[in-house]
Structure 1
Amino acid sequence: MATAYGPDTRDLHRPGTGSGGHPPAKHVLPAALRAPFEGRTWRELGYVLLSMPISVVLFCFAVTMVSLGLGMLITFLGIPILAAGLAMCRGFGAVERARARALLRLDVADPAPIRGKGGLMSWVGAVLKSGVSWRHLLYAVLHMPWATFAFVVAVTFWAYGWAAFTYPLWRWVFPAYAGVGGIQLYGDRTHQVYLDSPFEMAVTSALGLALVLVTPWIVRGLVAVDRVMVLGLLGPSRLATRVSELESDRGVVVDTAAADLRRIERDLHDGAQARLVALAMDLGLAKEKLTDDPEAAARMVDEAHGEVKVALQELRDLARGIHPAVLTDRGLDAALSAIASRCTVPVKVVVDLESRPAQAIEGIAYFTVSELLQNVSKHARATRASVDVWRAGDRLMLQVGDDGRGGAGVSTGSGLAGLTERLDAVDGILVVDSPAGGPTTVTAELPWRG
């Protein structure tokens, strides 16, 4: 699936991004020191604390309903009870996706709804045949022991860490109310060991600080498992996601083909067709003047001859825009060199291919480089550019770079956004690295399919 530099993804806490998918803000303190006070840490801790009671309720409900349904399969009532249990697990799954979205900033798409052909039994059959329903049941069973473990670990580290770190502030409770000097580490009939000296309190506080600093990362590791479980069990299946992507890509292909046909029709109507109509009128006038004013007719025929040359050039340009002959005859190396020669800045082209990819992929690669070099000519204000093409496994790699002003992006309506959609239609990837001030590097990855 095609991606680009900058747009949101499902996991908004992925490395290299800040909240909401934006570039991370610069901080004075390192991450290890500010982690205990970040909003993300408290949200993740809240997620872990809520997970245990929710998972216990979900586990008890799921086990009860499934056991009741399986136990009553000998009667007709077992089937609808089992279906109702699975449907309720899907309802709990919606709650869990909302909780992950709010606290973990993990946006998981909702699975496809259950669609029966009509009637109760049709709905029951659809629920029981749905793999999504059974994956929700599996989540209900597996998440409870993990949520309990994560709850115990997080609460233990968090409580002991802050208690030890702030020990010098509340040690006075022991001599005031318990009659001892501090926390008792060891005691028997002969002697006792208390944390009551300044050195011991300092060491206790230092150990507590270490726990406070490491606890957010432990909690982050715990919720990473929750992220995997939510993504893998509560989201749509890979097959359903792939079908949705293919449907979307098919729509993009259809829209792109329609847009290309409209462009060709417009170019023919406004260019060569209009010129040929004017040429026909001029030849008609020249024919009428042929006997009365041969010299004027000759001039008109000469002008018409020039118009024919211009019309032929426009048709050749249009044919090259549909599919250049040099690409079919000589491949990407010659075709990209021809594009580079028309660029307004010097372009170095390096094509390292031992064989040729599929014709459709070759055509998309050609038009991708063509559009990127047009952007360099029109917008980059560059003094030089480069085009590199190579094969990496079963992928065709393209990279176009320039030393221009940078700032290119894939915002809606831009040429790069349309290019991203075109590559997406063939499982391609587009990555744009264009900081303000430059340089700009655009990398495209296409399937080889040779």
Structure 2
Amino acid sequence: MDWEERIRTARAAGLRGLGLALRALVVGLPLFVATVVSIALVPAGIGVLLAPRALAALRRFADEQRERGQAWSGVRVDRPYRGPARGLRPLLDPATWRDLLWLVVNLPVAVATGLVPVALTAWTVFGVVIVPIVITSGAEGEFWPVAVGIGVLAAALLVIVPPLVLELHARFSAALLSPPRRALEARVDRLEETRADAVDAGAAELRRIEKDLHDGAQARIAALGMTIGLAEQLVRTDPARAEALLAEARDTSGQALADLRRLVRGIHPPVLAERGLVEAVRALAVVLPVPTTVFADDDVRGAPPIEAALYFAVAEALANVAKHSRAARAWVTLRAPSGLLVVEVGDDGTGGAQVPPAGGLAGVRRRLGAFDGRLAVTSPPGGPTVLSMEVPCGS
């Protein structure tokens, strides 16, 4: 890195540090006061309305610092939250209280981060610019050489220190805004478990496809070849019989094609690839015997593997509604809060739904777990039954 680039980097770091200081004073301090006051007012009732907004703003402020630390200093900070910031749920999340602690401790740290480049700049201007002008004007003073030396030293430090100070601020923030070690260990354990489940599910899916091909399309295509061969032998001696065999072969080819189409739909439905998750779920709801309403946000989109996992999860849930719930109506809700795809499938049936280890819902849980997703089932006796599925999908 040449000196010109070093100077540009130092200047950018100094301006960013100054911006962090101003942001901590102008935004961070009022946000801390508003959050603490709204939490304190929760028992009085008014805090129930104020706290969710303050907590959501606190999380956004902390997320912005995580992004800045990554972009400016290369310090990665993972999000430690247990779920989306809805209602008063963040109060039960330890990460919220660490965010609040960071917010108040960050105030002096950010101010110091912004003042260091300002102080170095001031000493540089005083020692390298002002003092020589004073000396050339004939003013006497024993401390002028010392001031010039300090100015030169400050100028050298001004090229080196601001990026280091900015990185120190990013590492300080990471210490409070990162998941604790025990949470990271639990996440590693969960990832190992979901990876094993994904491998098992992939192997089971391959076996299912192989079985469907062997018992369906492959058997029909083999029969088709035999029928055409027999017709070929009879075409001269018994044309009528050969014609009948060819008609039978045409029917068999149609059945084999239908088997292949069903197999493809079981791997990745065309409607899902062409029209997205919402329209694919609406197509499922249309053919369900139980009247089903689909509610969806406009921006419900995700990566194709995630959409496929949620599609088959909804298909399994709706199949259970039709088979076991005795419901008069059902509904599906698809939402896309920050960084998540959330799908809820509910019905007004008899309730009592469970997740047996070898059942379809257990397979849904494993399928979602491969994407770090979660499945929650609420089904008291007498209903209603609600299956909630959450899958991280990025911004």
Q: Give the alignment's TM-score, normalised by structure 2.
A: 0.52
Matched, 1:333 2:275: no
Conservation of the 8 A alpha-carbon contact between 2:377 and 2:387: yes
**What residue number does 2:346 align with?**
401
- RMSD, aligned α-carbons: 1.8
**What residue number does 1:287 align with?**
232
Matched, 1:428 2:373: yes
Conservation of the 8 A alpha-carbon contact between 1:361 and 1:449: no
- Higher helix proportion, which one? 2
Cα distance in 1 between the residues matched to 2:269 and 2:297: 21
Conservation of the 8 A alpha-carbon contact between 1:289 and 1:296: yes
Cα distance in 2 between the residues matched to 1:346 and 1:280: 44
Matched, 1:445 2:390: yes
* Max Rg structure: 1
Number of residue pairs the alignment of both structures matches: 216
Conservation of the 8 A alpha-carbon contact between 2:353 and 2:385: yes
DSSP-derived class of the 1:443 partner: strand
Cα distance in 2 between the residues matched to 1:372 and 1:360: 18
Q: Match of 1:412, as an amino acid? A: P
Deviating above 6 A after TM superposition, structure 1's stretches of 4 or more consecutive aligned residues are none
Q: Match of 1:243, as an amino acid? A: V
Aligned-pair CA distance for 1:247: 1.1
Cα distance in 2 between the residues matched to 1:439 and 1:333: 23
Aligned-pair CA distance for 1:438: 2.3
**What residue number does 2:307 align with?**
362
DSSP-derived class of the 1:389 partner: strand
Q: Give 5+ residue unaligned stretches, structure 2.
A: 1-179
DSSP-derived class of the 1:392 partner: coil
Aligned-pair CA distance for 1:236: 7.7
**What residue number does 2:263 align with?**
318
Aligned-pair CA distance for 1:309: 1.1
Aligned-pair CA distance for 1:315: 0.6
Conservation of the 8 A alpha-carbon contact between 2:292 and 2:332: yes
Cα distance in 1 between the residues matched to 2:352 and 2:271: 33
Conservation of the 8 A alpha-carbon contact between 2:352 and 2:380: yes
**What residue number does 2:254 align with?**
309
Cα distance in 2 between the residues matched to 1:404 and 1:307: 42
State the identity %: 48
**1:355–1:349 distance in 2 versus 1, CA, 3 Å:** closer
Q: How does 1:159-238 map to 2 (within 5 A)?
A: 237-238=182-183
Cα distance in 1 between the residues matched to 2:328 and 2:249: 40
Aligned-pair CA distance for 1:432: 0.8
**What residue number does 2:195 align with?**
250
Conservation of the 8 A alpha-carbon contact between 1:358 and 1:449: no
Conservation of the 8 A alpha-carbon contact between 1:332 and 1:351: no
Q: Match of 2:190, as an amino acid? A: E
**What residue number does 2:217 align with?**
272
Aligned-pair CA distance for 1:355: 5.3
Q: Match of 2:324, as an amino acid? A: H
Cα distance in 2 between the residues matched to 1:403 and 1:304: 48
Residues 392-420 of structure 1: CA deviation (Å, up to 9, x unaligned): 22111101112222221012212112211
Q: Match of 2:313, as an amino acid? A: T
DSSP-derived class of the 1:291 partner: coil
Aligned-pair CA distance for 1:250: 0.8
**What residue number does 1:174 align with?**
none
Conservation of the 8 A alpha-carbon contact between 1:431 and 1:443: yes
DSSP-derived class of the 2:229 partner: helix
Cα distance in 2 between the residues matched to 1:327 and 1:392: 21
Q: Match of 1:277, as an amino acid? A: A
Conservation of the 8 A alpha-carbon contact between 2:300 and 2:334: no
Matched, 1:418 2:363: yes
**What residue number does 1:344 align with?**
289
DSSP-derived class of the 2:288 partner: coil
Q: Give 5+ residue unaligned stretches, structure 1.
A: 1-234
Conservation of the 8 A alpha-carbon contact between 2:350 and 2:381: yes
Residues 213-250 of structure 1: CA deviation (Å, up to 9, x unaligned): xxxxxxxxxxxxxxxxxxxxxx9833322222211111
**What residue number does 1:384 align with?**
329
Q: Match of 2:388, as an amino acid? A: T
Conservation of the 8 A alpha-carbon contact between 1:353 and 1:389: no
Deviates more, 1:244-253 or 1:340-349: 340-349
Residues 89-145 of structure 1: CA deviation (Å, up to 9, x unaligned): xxxxxxxxxxxxxxxxxxxxxxxxxxxxxxxxxxxxxxxxxxxxxxxxxxxxxxxxx
